[in-house]
Chains A and B, each alone.
Chain A
Amino acid sequence: MPDFIKRAPLRSGIDRRSALKLGAAAATTLFAPALVRAESGPIRIGHLTPMTGFLGTLGEWAVLGIQMAAEEINAAGGVNGRMLEVRSEDSINPETAATKAQRFLEQDGVDFLMGEISSASALAISEVATRNERLFMALGPRSDVLRGARCSKYMFCTDIPNTVMVNAVGAALKRDGMVEGKRFFTLTADYVFGHDLLKAAKAFFDANGAELIGDELVATDVTDFSAFILKARQAQPDVVCLNLAGNQVTNFVKQYAEFGLPYPTVGFNLNTADAWAAGVGNLSGTWPTVWFDTIETAGSKDFVGAFKAKYGKTPENHAWIEYIALKIAAKAIAETGSAATPGMIEYFESEAEFDILKARPAYFRKEDHQLIQEAYPFSVKPEGSYSDVQDMLALGPAVPGADQSLEAIYPPAEAGACKI
């Protein structure tokens, strides 16, 4: 830096910069003894999730879920006597997510990274994690590409991928005779997640004799869908099918009910929170989910009870996934005796099983680092049969059936493009 500006020396004779450095050093020594990274200090986890924008609603739930897990673990004495310190920040968009991930690792000295809902931001964080050779648990993103061509040795994905969501709904649609010979018009979120979901949907249509007669890409900040609804009508489809994300789904279903088009809607992506946000009488059709609060397992019931007691509301799927993911991470740290990345990766790759509050335990598949687990279709109860939005969804049976391998609904590992 050119030294154009003469620095005024302080009275003691040291210049401003040295004084600042001294001050910073003093502050560090006084207030941050944990910088001496002893194995006895807290385990720091950098948690990134969108808290604003079209996925912001979901991110708020994510924070509640991971906080509750951290509090439970710490109240029970931490992991191997070490407390968990989860720092949550708004990831906003891929660029900011990458910057914050780098800062978490460089300046805040976190042990590993967790979080995210946006597939695009997750890809950006994954690149940072890979460059720094540090673990990143991608909790909410669903793009197949994160488990395929863009997978990483350092990234583990806990949500169900797009292909599983399509398969979970697809089975229910086939049962109802809504696939073969039907003409589909799709609306797709215009970013990596939507494109990826459309690809999975196309594969499903091709394999089951359905026809895709039109698709519209919708920017993620679109809030008025009237023009798209008119286009759907112009196409005269049998079924309107949504590959949208976050708030987009809520806005679309409200406006679709407003316009009152006769074509049934189905969708390959919906989060419970976005369904609740739509309000009574707007949502219809069959949708996939990774978890729902009426799942009949003791673990789920306990979780729902504790969550309601703590926050006064019913948890949705992102609160659940963040909760179980932190428990998974804690188990890995406890089993390997440290929060170091190589040990945790090795542990996950051993396909160790985790209780995720469903009927069957889950495991990370070694080949592509994704959590293999059950999924569920759900449908909307007829209008008038419920009074509260939180009662309007009816959960279907888990897929795959109890007699099938969990991997039956996943793309086969050997066919995947993931090379770890």
Chain B
Amino acid sequence: MQIVFLIEQVVNGLVLGGYYLLIALGLSLIFSVGGVVNLAHGAFYALGAYVSVQLGRHVGFGAAAAVSPVLVALIGIAFERFLLRRFYREDPILGLLVTFGLAMVAEQAIRMIWGAAPLPASLPAALRGPVIVGDFLFSRYRLLMLGVVAVVLGGIWLLLNRTSFGRVVRAGIQQPDMVAALGIRLQPYMTACVMLGVGLAALGGALFAPITTVHPAMGAEILTIAFVVVIIGGLGSFWGVVLAALLVGVVRGVSVHFAPAASEASMYVLMFVVLMIRPRGLLGEPIEKFER
């Protein structure tokens, strides 16, 4: 029976990892194209949750979860156009500082608009409850969420690897000056990538709002985990982030099984071990502009 319990935790960890992936992938994408460590990424996650809860009161959960990421992504355009763009070629510390400041501004703005008290949000009754397969129990909602993540992941992979848009972005990440020399303006691609990353974070927030506390500081809670995932996976690596997200989820699940009190620390231990063995992360690629 013990082994069944363990497998159940591993599978649950994979599902949780899928959700971390939504946040971490956007973070990694924005870092890859612009070289800016976006500390405001959690704020977009929080905003996604708040907007979806607010909309959900009028249009229902499903529609709100679909529309909220789009609305927040539009804010992402302004974020890239007026703020982030100025820091692509600056000292990384400046981008770090400005996004850190933005995260604080965003948190306070949420406090001012929606108040400090958490926003109540519930799952529709139809989405609640377990799915039992043999000895295993899953949350119906999380399985659904995993499906959404898989579709989104597939879409992004196709976009980056099978379209001309993706070719320019990938070339821009590796050789921005070469791309410019070929007469391609990278700016719109950058904007689109940031929009995509911000939208992914907001989608994460919208999907998680019914099963977590929706409060102004929720962005800060998720950001640490997203960073750990990106660092373990290796900056700039699509599959690295996927692998790391699932790994972090599984390590947390397994550590809850064996040493529950240490479960929060487990992902940091994992990060430590990975960095000791592979300082670039699991599948991190060398990127010219960061190798100076």
Residues of A within 8 A of B (CB): 52-53, 56-57, 60-61, 190, 216-219, 221-224, 226-228, 230-231, 233-234, 247, 250-251, 254-255, 257-261, 273, 276-282, 313, 389
Chain B nearest CB: distance from A322 CB in Å? Answer: 15
Quick check: A277 and B120 within 8 Å, CB to CB? Answer: yes
Contacts of B119 in A (CB 8 A): 277
B212 close to A259 (CB less than 8 A): no
Residue pair B212, A254 in contact (C-beta under 8 Å): yes
Contacts of B261 in A (CB 8 A): 190, 217, 219
Q: Do B211 and A254 have beta carbons less than 8 Å apart?
A: yes
Q: Is the Cβ of B260 less than 8 Å from the Cβ of A216?
A: yes
Q: Taking the complex as formed, is B5 at the interface, i.e. its CB lies under 8 A from any CB of chain A?
A: yes
B117 in contact with A231 (CB, 8 Å): no
- From A56, A260, A313, give the contact of B128 (CB < 8 A): A260
The complex places the Cα of A217 from the Cα of B123 at a distance, in Å, of 27
Known contacts A53-B217, A260-B139; 20 additional CB pairs below 8 A are A56-B217, A61-B117, A218-B260, A219-B263, A221-B221, A222-B263, A222-B264, A224-B212, A226-B16, A227-B9, A227-B252, A227-B260, A230-B137, A258-B123, A259-B129, A260-B128, A276-B118, A277-B119, A279-B122, A280-B122
Q: Which residue of B lies closest to A249 (CB)?
A: B213
Do most interface residues of chain A lie in helix, strand or loop, or is the interface mixed? helix
Contacts of B1-28 to chain A: CB distance below 8 A = 5, 8-9, 12-13, 15-16
Q: Is the CB–CB distance between B257 and A227 below 8 Å?
A: yes
CB pair B213 A250 closer than 8 Å: yes
Closest CB in chain B relative to A185 CB, distance in Å: 13
Contact indicator per residue, chain B 206-228, by CB within 8 Å of chain A (1) or not (0): 00001111110100010000000
CB closest residue in chain B, given A255: B211
Which 10 residue pairs spanning A and B have beta carbons closest together? A279-B120, A277-B118, A260-B129, A227-B256, A60-B116, A279-B122, A219-B264, A217-B261, A250-B213, A389-B120
Contact for B116 among A57, A234, A247, A279, CB less than 8 A: A57
Least CB distance from A330 to B in Å reads 26
Contact A258 B211 (CB under 8 A): yes
* Chain A proximity of B211: nearest CB distance (Å): 5
- With a cutoff of 8 Å between Cβ atoms, the chain A residues found around residue B211 in the complex are 251, 254-255, 258
Interface centre among B119, B122, B213, B256 (most CB of A within 10 A): B213
**What is the minimal beta-carbon distance from A278 to any residue of chain B, in angstroms?**
7
Tell me the complex Cα distance, A221–B5, Å.
24
Q: A57-B116, A228-B256, A282-B122 are in contact. Are A258 and B210 (CB under 8 A)?
A: yes
Q: Is B41 an interface residue (CB 8 A)?
A: no
Selected contact of B139 from candidates A216, A221, A226, CB within 8 Å: A226
Residue of B nearest to A316 (CB): B117
Give Cα distance in the complex from A282 to B260, angstroms.
Answer: 24
